[in-house]
Amino acid sequence: MSLSAAFNIINSAFLSNAAQSAVISSNISNAGTPGYSREVANVLTNSYGGSDVASVTREANSALLEQVNASTSQAASEQALANGLAKLAQTVSDSATSSSASGSTENGNSPSAMLANLQDALTTYEASPSDASAGQAVVTAASNLAASLNSGSAAAQQVREQADSDMASSVSTINSLLNQFSQVDATIVGGLATGANVSAAEDTRDTILTQLSQQIGISTATSANGSTSIYTDSGVTLYQTGDVNTLSFTATPTLTAGANGNAVTVDGVPITGPSAPMAIQSGALAGLANLRDTVAPEYQAQLDQIAGGLINAFAESDQSTTTPGLPSLPGLFTAPGATGLPATTDTTGLAASIEVNPAVDPSQGGDVSLLQDGGVNGSNYVYNATGAAGYTGRIQGMIAAITATQSFDPSAGLGSSDGLADYANASVSWLQAQNQQASNQVDYQNSVVSQATAALSNATGVSLDTEMTNMLNIENSYTTTAKLLTTVDDMFTALLDATNPA
Amino acid sequence: MSATFVSTSYLGTALLPTIAQTQSSLANLEVESSTGQYADLGLQLGDQSGYELSLKNQNDLLQTLTTGNGLVTMNLTASQDALNSLVTDAQNAVSGLTAWNSAGGAADATLQNLGVNALQSLIAATNTTSNGQYVFGGLNSGVAPMADYFSSTPSAAKTAIDSAFQTAFGCLPTDAAASTITAAQMQTFLNGPFAAQFSGSNWTSNWSSASSANASAQIAPGETIETSTNANQPGFQQLAEGYAMLSEFGGSQLSSAAQQTVASAANALITQGLSSITATEAGVGASLQRVTDANASMSSQMTILQTEIGNLDDVNAQAVATQLNTLSTQLQTAYELTAQLQKLSLAQYLPVS
């Protein structure tokens, strides 16, 4: 060993200290940066006994990142669904805060509550059938019921249209993120090949993946050269070695009942919708597609079934003795242009168009007394043949029809046979149950996300205290090295003085 | 790194979700403590929402029926009062006849006055209205059930009786020729052509516009009763026949013997009518009782329903108050901890050189 060797060691110590200080500075300055992974300087003993910073490792944890991304996707999907359901639930919720004593406001504006109001109005009308104001009250209650169905259907349509337009923006976000990802991935692959520090690029890559998982459920795989491939959670390739498979989607601005929105496709293969072979399972896009294609249409179908059931329940049957008998025709409720009663399997769009028959609505020139006597569809349909003022048979028939069992289309999800009032109640139950479930799922998934994020942050984040401790170590090491340098220098001076007598 | 490593960014933000959650829970609890019900019923009840709504709807229906029963009670009470007055009038007529008989049964205007007054009261009572509806009209409650017999233009009933008399005896009761009619002839006329005026199509076309079918209404779910009676019942026909007999033939040119026959026939009819009307009145009383019973039963049902609705909708006020306390303590602790954790940094303790 020579003193000059000691000089070399001291020199490498200074270099190593500087490199470690750089890493610590970077860590400290990014302590608050989301998605930043802590860097660690790997110090090695070099060939002549000094120390070198051989490499800088990024403290990544891909398993935890995957978990964060997966739970983020789930949460985003449930959130999209819950937002839509909350909007739909507003149309049926009975408000607890109402101070009004009247039933209509306390019980909300759901078709179910409005149907009950109609039943109440008919019951009052039955007690005083010749009272025109009681008849008018029936028409008003019927109008409110029709309006409730109209607005419920409009809300379902609005939720679907909003979901459709959100899907469009989600698709454009995904495509833009995929393009960014392809650039970052190229940087990483190139950097790794040349041995450059790619930590910053890797941080960006992870951030993009987390943003992507907000929109769509993904899984990733990293190849030997450091390139990361992205697949949807259903297995469709979105990015692989420089090739971006962009999503394509055409928005549909108007989605009336029964109209289907377009599916999101990758390479011509649909990834949303009930018929998609490889449908995505999570992410906002999946939640929106589920809302647009399954949940909201099902609710809309239930409203249509209620509307069809109403037209049928209040229909007038032939009262004449003509043979063959005439077909039953719409009474109190009808739809514009209706020429007969709707079949239970053919009610699409009825909730949006159902209205009180103009023939009984005084504000449209109609005659309320047709409710008591029948005859909305002409003299063959008059129930009260003698015109007696106290006749209540037709009114009693309508009241009975509200609770009478009738058949419904089972594809609306509420069974095939029920009383109209019970069916309307079941629809409210169905919607609120979906709402409750989605809301609970959102709470649950959000807590999973925050736990996963905490775990990831603890595994890969920066602790200022640790960095500071390391910095103190380096400071001490620097002080000692400087002292060492002075000492060796003194020794050289002493040696030179001894060998060079003045 | 070791499992106990905690990143600074997590340390600083760990309590933020807790604070946000606690704040939103506090907002909900404030609503709940002021309304006494869950802040979002739909979210709270989920698939029980339809059940809760059906309870509320049922409660509203019972309320509506109870209100409607007020009207039914009013109609039935009006019927009862009118029937009561008919009974009183009939009793008075019977005692008037008895008095006339014991006074010797003179052929003067007493019988006629008795008949005219009683018939007028009968018509007035039969045309009783309640809430604008004729209570004895049956279904046909919009038209006065009994035509005015004494109208200035002779009523159809009066004309028909006159013509029947004319056909039988060739003269009117007020003609002098009527004095030759014997008691037996009068009895035959009263039992035959005269009685025919008060039954069948003669009754419905000349006397009564009422419908024989009665109005009915629901007084409780599934319980429908007849809420009116009608003037086509035998009691009304018998009373009208008895009164009309007196008003037409009392004080007329008929012989005293014939008038005795009329009086005794009228007495028999009025007595029959009296018992028939009393039976009708008993029926109305029974209906009134059913309405009262229905109201009582619906009232207790509503209490049960409201209790059940309360079980679903209402929050436990004490639990809410306790929760409010707990949450505000929790929120204060979270704030405190956040501030404390911010101070916990090595940088605070390093000597400044």
CA distance A245 to chain B (A): 35
Tell me: do A25 and A110 sit in the same domain: no
User: Rounded distance, CA A436 to CA A434, Å?
Assistant: 5
Task: Report yes or no: B111 and B262 within 8 Å, Cβ to Cβ.
Answer: yes
The closest alpha carbon to A299, from A466, A145, A426, A392, belongs to A426
Contact yes or no for A439 and B43 at CB 8 A: yes
Number of folded domains that form chain A:
2
The closest alpha carbon to A474, from A56, A16, A44, belongs to A16
Handedness of CA A301, A299, A408, B53 (dihedral sign): negative
- Residue A281 belongs to some domain of the structure: yes
Q: Which of A300-309, B168-177, B305-314 has the highest mean pLDDT?
A: A300-309
User: Rounded distance, CA A493 to CA A94, Å?
Assistant: 94
> Per-residue DSSP letters for A425-478?
HHHHHHHHHHHHHHHHHHHHHHHHHHHHHHHHHHHHS--HHHHHHHHHHHHHHH
pLDDT at A101: 39
Contact yes or no for A107 and B57 at CB 8 A: yes
Instruction: List CB contacts (< 8 A) between A390 and chain B.
Output: 133, 137-142, 211, 215, 228
The residues with which A265 forms a beta bridge, in sequence order, are: A248, A270
CB under 8 A, 24+ apart: contacts of B19-25? B19/B331, B19/B334, B19/B335, B19/B338, B22/B327, B22/B330, B22/B331, B22/B334, B23/B331, B25/B323, B25/B327
Contact yes or no for A119 and B61 at CB 8 A: yes
Structure tokens at B199: 């039954």
- Taking one residue from A and the other from B, the number of pairs with CB-CB distance under 8 angstroms is 207
User: Rounded distance, CA A222 to CA A5, Å?
Assistant: 44
pLDDT at A345: 87
Tell me: do A195 and A133 sit in the same domain: yes
Structure tokens at B83: 């029937």
Residue B217, phi then psi, degrees to nearest 5: -150, 155
pLDDT at A100: 36
CB proximity A25 to B under 8 Å: no
Instruction: List CB contacts (< 8 A) between A437 and chain B.
Output: 46
Segment B129-141, tens digit of pLDDT = 988 889 898 888 8
Cβ neighbours of residue A312 closer than 8 Å, sequence gap 6 or more: A341, A342, A344, A406
pLDDT at A106: 57
Residue B106: pLDDT band (50, 70, 90) is: confident
Considering only the beta carbons, identify the residue of A112, A130, A461 that sits closest to B50. Answer: A112
CA distance A420 to chain B (A): 12
CA distance A435 to chain B (A): 7
pLDDT at A163: 95
Cβ neighbours of residue B143 closer than 8 Å, sequence gap 6 or more: A389, B134, B137, B209
Structure tokens at B287: 């209906």
Tell me: do A289 and A212 sit in the same domain: yes
Segment B113-156, tens digit of pLDDT = 889 999 999 999 999 998 888 989 888 888 899 988 888 888 88
- Residue A124 belongs to some domain of the structure: yes
Instruction: List CB contacts (< 8 A) between B69 and chain A.
Output: 127
For A98, A140, B33, B334, the CA distances from B315, given in Å and listed in that order, are 16, 34, 8, 26
pLDDT at A387: 84
Contact yes or no for B10 and A436 at CB 8 A: no
Handedness of CA A98, A104, A107, A110 (dihedral sign): negative
HEC per residue, A438-452: HHHHHHHHHHHHHHH
B304-321 mean pLDDT: 89
Instruction: List CB contacts (< 8 A) between B39 and chain A.
Output: 96
CB proximity A385 to B under 8 Å: no
Contact yes or no for A461 and B35 at CB 8 A: no
Alpha helices in A91-131, H assignment, sequence order: 103-106, 111-127
Tell me: do A402 and A482 sit in the same domain: no
pTM, two decimals, is 0.85
pLDDT at A94: 66
For B60, nearest residue in chain A (alpha carbons): A103
Size (chain A), residues: 502
Identify from A28, A128, A430 which residue to disrupt to test chain B contact, counting B C-beta atoms within 10 A and taking the largest count: A128
Residue type, A408: F
Residue type, B31: V
User: What ipTM, to 2 d.p.?
Assistant: 0.81
Task: Report yes or no: B275 and B125 within 8 Å, Cβ to Cβ.
Answer: no
Instruction: List CB contacts (< 8 A) between B216 and chain A.
Output: 392, 396
Tell me: do A146 and A29 sit in the same domain: no
CB proximity A403 to B under 8 Å: no
pLDDT at B1: 43
Contact yes or no for B53 and A436 at CB 8 A: no
Segment B2-42, tens digit of pLDDT = 456 778 888 878 888 888 889 999 998 988 888 888 888 88
Q: Which helix (H) or strand (E) holds A39?
A: strand A39-45
Contact yes or no for A113 and B57 at CB 8 A: yes
- Residue A224 belongs to some domain of the structure: yes
CA distance A311 to chain B (A): 21
Q: Which helix (H) or strand (E) holds A244?
A: strand A243-244
Tell me: do A290 and A227 sit in the same domain: yes
Task: Report yes or no: A210 and A252 within 8 Å, Cβ to Cβ.
Answer: no
CB proximity A466 to B under 8 Å: yes
User: Rounded distance, CA A218 to CA B252, Å?
Assistant: 112
Tell me: do A165 and A211 sit in the same domain: yes
Size (chain B), residues: 353
Contact yes or no for A458 and B138 at CB 8 A: no
Contact yes or no for A390 and B45 at CB 8 A: no
Q: What is the largest CA-CA distance in chain B?
A: 151
CB proximity A110 to B under 8 Å: yes
Given a cut of 90, whether residue B282 has pLDDT beyond it is yes
Tell me: do A427 and A488 sit in the same domain: no
User: Rounded distance, CA A61 to CA A69, Å?
Assistant: 12
Instruction: List CB contacts (< 8 A) between B133 and chain A.
Output: 128, 130, 389-390
- Residue A464 belongs to some domain of the structure: no
Tell me: do A269 and A407 sit in the same domain: yes
Tell me: do A31 and A75 sit in the same domain: no
Considering only the beta carbons, identify the residue of A123, A433, A439 that sits closest to B64. Answer: A123
For A124, nearest residue in chain B (alpha carbons): B68
Decide: helix, strand or coil at residue A266: strand
CB proximity A123 to B under 8 Å: yes
Please give chain A's pLDDT, 502 residues, in tens. 677 888 888 999 999 999 999 999 999 998 888 888 999 999 899 888 888 888 888 888 889 999 999 999 999 999 999 999 999 988 887 654 443 333 334 567 889 989 999 999 999 998 888 888 899 999 999 999 999 999 999 999 999 999 999 999 999 999 999 999 999 999 999 999 998 888 889 999 999 999 999 999 999 999 999 899 999 999 999 999 889 999 999 999 999 988 889 999 998 889 998 888 889 999 999 999 999 999 999 999 999 999 999 999 999 999 888 778 889 999 999 999 888 899 988 889 999 999 999 999 988 888 998 999 999 998 899 998 888 888 888 999 999 999 899 999 999 989 999 999 999 999 999 999 999 999 999 999 999 998 898 888 888 888 888 898 899 999 999 999 999 999 999 998 998 888 876 5
Handedness of CA B114, B119, B120, B124 (dihedral sign): positive
Identify the residue whose tokens are 């697949």: A231
pLDDT at B138: 87
Considering only the beta carbons, identify the residue of A32, A422, A426 that sits closest to B9. Answer: A32
For B139, nearest residue in chain A (alpha carbons): A390
Q: What is the largest CA-CA distance in chain A?
A: 148
- Residue A96 belongs to some domain of the structure: no
Instruction: List CB contacts (< 8 A) between A425 and chain B.
Output: 50-51, 53-54, 57
Identify from A126, A372, A446 which residue to disrupt to test chain B contact, counting B C-beta atoms within 10 A and taking the largest count: A126
- Helix A132-194 to helix A296-313 angle (10° resolution) is 160
Identify from B2, B4, B9 which residue to disrupt to test chain A contact, counting A C-beta atoms within 10 A and taking the largest count: B9
User: Rounded distance, CA A283 to CA B285, Å?
Assistant: 71
Given a cut of 50, whether residue B102 has pLDDT beyond it is yes
CB proximity A96 to B under 8 Å: yes
Return the DSSP state at B143.
Answer: S
Instruction: List CB contacts (< 8 A) between A388 and chain B.
Output: 138-142, 211, 213
Domain that holds residue A114: 66-91+105-448
pLDDT at A438: 92
Tell me: do A182 and A47 sit in the same domain: no
Tell me: do A480 and A412 sit in the same domain: no
- Residue A468 belongs to some domain of the structure: no
Instruction: List CB contacts (< 8 A) between B145 and chain A.
Output: none
- Residue A99 belongs to some domain of the structure: no
Considering only the beta carbons, identify the residue of A96, A391, A447 that sits closest to B38. Answer: A96
- Residue A242 belongs to some domain of the structure: yes
Domain spans of chain B, in order of start? 59-306
Of A222-226, B108-112, B305-309, B334-338, minimum mean pLDDT range: B108-112
The closest alpha carbon to A239, from A247, A251, A231, belongs to A231
Segment B208-263, tens digit of pLDDT = 988 888 888 889 988 888 888 889 989 999 999 999 989 888 877 888 888 888 88
Residues 417-446 of A with CB under 8 A from B: 421-422, 425-433, 435-437, 439, 446
Contact yes or no for B57 and A112 at CB 8 A: yes
Task: Report yes or no: A332 and A355 within 8 Å, Cβ to Cβ.
Answer: no
Q: How many Cβ atoms from other residues are within 10 Å of residue A14's Cβ?
A: 16
Identify from A465, A471, A473 which residue to disrupt to test chain B contact, counting B C-beta atoms within 10 A and taking the largest count: A465
Superfamily of the domain at B59-306 = f41 fragment of flagellin, N-terminal domain (1.20.1330.10)
